[in-house]
Amino acid sequence: MPLNIKDLKISSTDFEPLGRLRDEHAGDKGNVLPKLTVSGVPAEAKELAVICHDPDAPLANGFTHWTVYGIDPKTTDLSDAQEKFRVGPNGAGGMQYYGPQPPAGHGDHHYYFWVYALDTNVEGTPTREEFLEKYAGNIIEQNRIVGIYENK
């Protein structure tokens, strides 16, 4: 899947790109969703989706920490995304944000917060893998911000 980036951006006031996520965002230390904002959404977008994924997790497909669908393309602030939009499954089987919780001593893990602008609406609440398989051809633009966390 090509990385289509034009104007779409996802950013955070809680961490810089490739910056450290604070303990309060960790799954076992507060589990607070970082503040995320979206800008530059293409005019033809019908829906946005956001996925947080850790490819460094010691699992075949990494670990998915958050999936959110049905985001109105006019949305800029994702602070209330948990309550306002369709939250899909995380890697632990729950339906909410599950903050970083890498194995102790496993080193830095990278948390990719992806935003996808789609030319169609996502049906239901697919897993990350199901979403990418079914909707890859519907992604107009995508972008990400990456945070780092280590469980010492």
Taking only the tens place, the pLDDT of each residue in 13-68 is 999 999 999 999 999 999 999 999 999 999 999 999 999 999 999 988 999 999 99
| DSSP β-ladder status, 36-39 and 9-12 | antiparallel
pLDDT band at 1, cuts 50/70/90? very low
What's the rounded Cα separation, in Å, for the pair 91 and 53? 9
CA dist 69 → 7, 80, 83 (Å): 20, 13, 12
Q: Which tokens go with 67?
A: 């999936």
Q: Which residues of 140-152 are buried (b: 16+ CB within 10 A; e: fewer)?
A: bbbbbbebbbebe
Region 84-104: mean pLDDT is 94
Residue written as token pair 């239901």: 124
The letter for the amino acid at 80 is D
Region 96-115: mean pLDDT is 94
